[in-house]
Amino acid sequence: MGQLLRLGLVLLLAVLGGCGRDSGRSELRFWAMGRESEVLAELIPEFERLHPGVVVKIEQLPWTAAHEKLLTAVAGDSTPDLCQLGNTWIPELAALKALAPLDARIAASAVVRPDDYFPGIWATNVIGGATYGIPWYVDTRLLFYRKDLLAQAGFASVPGTWAGWERALAAITARGAGRRFGVLLPLNEYEPLLAFALQQRTGLLKDDLTRGNFDSPEFERTLGFYAGMFAHGYAPPVTNSQIANVWTEFGRGYFAFYISGPWNIGEFRRRLPPALAGQWETAPLPGPDGPGASIAGGASLAVFRRSRHAALAWQLVEYLSRPEVQVRFHALTGDLPGRRAAWAAAGIAGDSHTAAFRDQLERVRPTPPVPEWEQIVTEMRILAEHVVRGEMSVHDGALELNRRADRMLAKRRSLVAEGVRL
């Protein structure tokens, strides 16, 4: 017992000593995910040199657990000072009133200039008129395709319209004689359908974002276009887990088009056989009548409302937003920087694979900024799968999706009707 007591005292003193030593310096807790969290270790020392007495503590979260961890932290009042946030999570955390609005700081900043960012990406950070995040790196979805297979089918370049693209898919599929498909649209991914749906002129939600707009003729046309690719046999009705290895299958020519994001540029370079090196390319998404929009993806840097070092956290956000730091960040990760200045400085778009992304990023659109969106878009995927498998007509699928969206938005509707500020 005496020994235990002594051990306890020693521990207590150690803790007290630790507190005493740290009181002169500020510690910034920074939550980051995935590869970016590892790379930060190389960027932070320079910031700490510029700000003596500041220690940045990077806490790494795996992407798969990050969302739950963030919500739990909000519920338990243990949020960090700042965080890397997938920009689809911003509406949710803003609804939880967990994030600090940054508008005043942006207005006073010499570094963060909103007009240097891609407008569609910037818009994902603005909820109800307030800005809650600064784009760090960006992504979107577009076409990866086999140039050789497209040429064999008689097309010199990717058509820019839905109708033209469908013709190309038909030609490729017909030449494949059952062993080749025009495009791979995994049924467990909602992104391809979402990208096409974002191209429509009317929004995906209506009435002050309290009702679905999936019963509109425009959405029905989009869903019909998507389901048609399976019905015509241009796309195999498979999920990702049935394609053991996307790169191998792409290399074998099982499909000619694939809708994916910038991370796959590096993967395609690494994993495709050398003979195919010059045979694949990227292209912006076709739209209903000319080059179409796509999803505004990526991650932002956000400061938490409960942070006790908000000013300092903002300085770190500014530091990471400097064009020269963004260029270094791009060199370390391959992530596409959020700022046009960094693109120009690093000559990123000089490479043909990335140039298509530069083009597409000027035409990206945010998804509706409501916390229920993730759930709605998941239902969209599920119902699209039912339609593709022939269990529902396109019309019924669209109506059912609208019903479900309306049900998920019921609480939001009643709060808005009561005049609660969301």
Partner 1 sequence: MKRSTVGLLFALPALLVIGVFFFVPVLIALCLSVTDFDIYALADLSNLRWVGLRNYTELLSTPLFWRALGNTLYFTLLGVPLSIATSVGAALLVNARAARFKGVFRTALFAPVVTTVVAVAIIWRYLLHTRYGLVNYGLGRLGISPIDWLGDPHWAMPAIVLFSVWKNFGYNMVIVLAALQQVPEDLYEAASLDGASAVQQFRHVTLPALAPTLLFVSILTMAGYFQLFAEPYVMTQGGPAQSTLSVLYLLYEEGFKWWNLGRASAVAFVLFLMMFAVTLVQLRLGREAVS
Quote the strand ranges of 252-371, DSSP E.
255-260, 280-283, 286-287, 290-291, 294-295, 297-303, 336-337, 364-365
Residue 298 Cβ, how far from partner 1 at the closest point, in Å?
A: 22
Residue 243 Cβ, how far from partner 1 at the closest point, in Å?
A: 10
Nearer of residues 94 and 342 to partner 1, judged by Cβ: 94
Interface region with partner 1, contact rule CB under 8 A, candidates 17-25, 141-149, 226-234, 239-247: 239-247
Bridge partners, 161 (sequence order): 287
Decide: 99 and 304 in contact? Cβ < 8 Å.
Answer: yes
Nearer of residues 242 and 393 to partner 1, judged by Cβ: 242
Number of residues that bind partner 1 (CB under 8 A): 28
Site string for partner 1, 174-213 (x = CB under 8 A): -------------xx-------------------------
Decide: 414 and 208 in contact? Cβ < 8 Å.
Answer: no
- Three-state SS string across 58-117, please? EEEECHHHHHHHHHHHHHCCCCCCEEEEECCCHHHHHHCCCECCCHHHHHHCCCCCHHHE
Residue 422 Cβ, how far from partner 1 at the closest point, in Å?
A: 8
Which of 39, 106, 174, 238 is in the footprint of partner 1 by CB under 8 A?
A: 238
Q: Does 244 bind partner 1 (CB under 8 A)?
A: yes
Contacting partner 1 within 356-395 (CB under 8 A): 371, 374-375, 382, 385-386, 389, 391
* Radius of gyration for the alpha carbons in the chain, expressed in angstroms and rounded: 24
Residue 347 Cβ, how far from partner 1 at the closest point, in Å?
A: 40
Other beta carbons within 10 angstroms of residue 364's beta carbon come to 27
- End-to-end C-alpha distance for the chain, whole angstroms: 55
User: Residues interacting with partner 1, by CB under 8 A?
Assistant: 68, 71, 74-75, 92, 95-97, 187-188, 238-239, 241-242, 244, 371, 374-375, 382, 385-386, 389, 391, 411-412, 415, 420, 422
